[in-house]
Structure 1
Amino acid sequence: MDVQTLKNRLTVSNANQVRVPDLKALGNDSGVPMGELHDLCYDDERPTLAFRAAWLLEYIAVHHPDRFMRVAHMFFTRLPHQENPSCQRHFTNILRMLTHHKAPKSYQDILRSADREQLVETVFNWFIDTQTPVAIQANCMDVLFQLSHEFTWIREELTLQIEFLLRDGSAAIQSRGKKVLEKLKKPLRTGD
């Protein structure tokens, strides 16, 4: 599949909406050019196209790890440059999976080879940005907690930031924040 066909499948739809079953079918198509798909996630001129590309990238990361691995290095390298909040939401969902202690071995390997300090800095910046939507902040809490086993300083900073957010936070922030705080209170153990 060429990039124009990919763009067409992400934009052409009935009633101006691409249906989820159509996106899932596209995600299951092994002919999707992964590099081009990843590039579309950064299309500043067409944010809806970027959003759909990010949704598709997340779907592939969940259901076809071997295909996601083709762009995993690029995913980590370009992550700090993702400014579209709709895409950030899907990217943080991917990061929650990649940083989880039960992630597939291929994901654990690519995470070890990534610039994790840059990853932590990017996710923290998204987390503390007052313009960041709640769903992304909640995902960032999980990602940062999961990386706190390697970067122990995260625990203190994350605790302070969550406590600050809990003062006036939405119900979603309250719920996720309290869960992450409970985990942060426990001693560090492998596999949390």
Structure 2
Amino acid sequence: MTLEEFHKELSFVNASRENRMKYANMVLNDMSLFPKLIDILFMVNDKVSSRAAWVLEFVCAEYIYAIVPHLDTFTKNINKIHLDSSVRPVSKVCEFITKTYYSKEPNTIKKALRPEYKERIIEACFDWMISTQKVAPKVYAMESLFLYGLDYDWIHPELTQILEQNFQMQSAAFKVRAKRTLLKIKKSKALKKS
């Protein structure tokens, strides 16, 4: 399938879980489509890019290692994503990458996630935290930043400051997650001291 054909195919993706899973399975069954999915994702002003983002989230939920050969391209371009319907799934993929990296099991992401890739994800997460994004991308960014903060000493203080400054202006869902994250930061700080 050419890039143009796949682009046309992705224009039929809709918001239903079944539909997104159908297209994710199409990619999972033919991994030659994955680089095309990434290419379409980064056609950031094209509405089909959001549909590619939805499919990417489902592919990565099933098989996160599909993104390994594309980590450089993915992390270099995530800051270009701006459509709300693309930001949420891309922030979720960043969270998948981060959680896999910090899992206790040895895995390919641990070997493949170079420092510059982590830094790009961290930068994107902070951008989502301080911008006018909806709650979901902020929640995924919060979780990723908490985990990276276990290795980068400067992250937890920055994240704490953002959470505390924005607390009153945010939704109930944000406040619940922010409280939980602030508590986890306090606990990790206490563990480092002991």
TM-score, normalised to structure 1, is 0.84
Given that 2:27 and 2:33 are in contact with CA atoms closer than 8 Å, whether structure 1 keeps it comes out as: no
Q: Which residue of 2 aligns with 1:98?
A: 97
Distance 2:64 2:44 in 1: 26
Is the 1:142–1:180 Cα contact (8 Å) retained in structure 2? yes
AA partner of residue 124 (structure 1): F
Residues 157-182 of structure 1: per-residue CA shift (max 9 Å, x gap)? 11111112221210110111111011
- Please report how far the alpha carbon of residue 21 of structure 1 lies from its aligned counterpart in structure 2 after TM superposition: 4.4
Aligned residue number for residue 178 of structure 1 = 179
CA distance in 2, matches of 1:67, 1:21: 15
Q: Which moved more, 1:156-165 or 1:29-38?
A: 29-38
**In 2, Cα distance between the equivalents of 1:151 and 1:70?**
25
- State the alpha-carbon separation in 2 of the partners of residues 104 and 172 from structure 1: 33
Identity of aligned residues (%): 23
C-alpha distance 172-38 of structure 1, shift in aligned 2 (>3 A): same
Residues paired across the two proteins, number: 185
Find the counterpart in structure 1 of residue 37 from structure 2: 37
Q: Structure 1 residues 108 and 156, CA, compared in 2 at 3 Å: closer, same or farther? A: same
Q: Which has more helix, going by share of residues?
A: 2
- RMSD between aligned residues: 2.3
Q: What does 1:160-175 align with in structure 2 at a 5 Å threshold? A: 160-175=161-176
| Partner amino acid, structure 1, of 2:19 | R
Q: Matches of 1:63 and 1:180 in 2, distance apart? A: 26
Partner of 2:138 in structure 1?
137
Give structure 1 regions of 4+ aligned residues with deviation exceeding 4 angstroms: none
Query: Where does residue 9 of structure 2 map in the other structure?
Result: 9
1:51 deviation in Å? 1.1
Deviations 1:27-76 (A, max 9, x none): 332244222211111224422x1111011112222212343223222111
Unaligned runs of 5+ residues in structure 1 are none
Which has the larger displacement, 114-123 or 152-161?
Answer: 114-123
Alignment partners' CA distance in 1, 2:141 and 2:71: 19
The runs of 5 or more residues in structure 2 that have no matched partner are none
| Alignment CA distance shift 1:59-1:160 (3 Å) | same
Partner of 1:115: 117
Distance 1:68 1:137, change over 3 A: same
Separation in 1, partners of 2:140, 2:106: 19
Letter in 2 for 1:149: L
2: CA distance between counterparts of 1:21 and 1:89?
17
* Residues 146 and 185 in structure 2, CA contact (< 8 A), matched pair in contact too: yes
Question: What is the identity, as a one-letter code, of the residue corresponding to 1:94?
Answer: V
Q: Mean Cα displacement is larger for which, 49-58 or 5-14?
A: 5-14
Residue 183 of structure 1: how far off its partner (Å): 0.2
Q: Secondary structure at the match of 2:165?
A: helix
Paired residues of 2:13 and 2:23 also in contact (CA < 8 A) = no
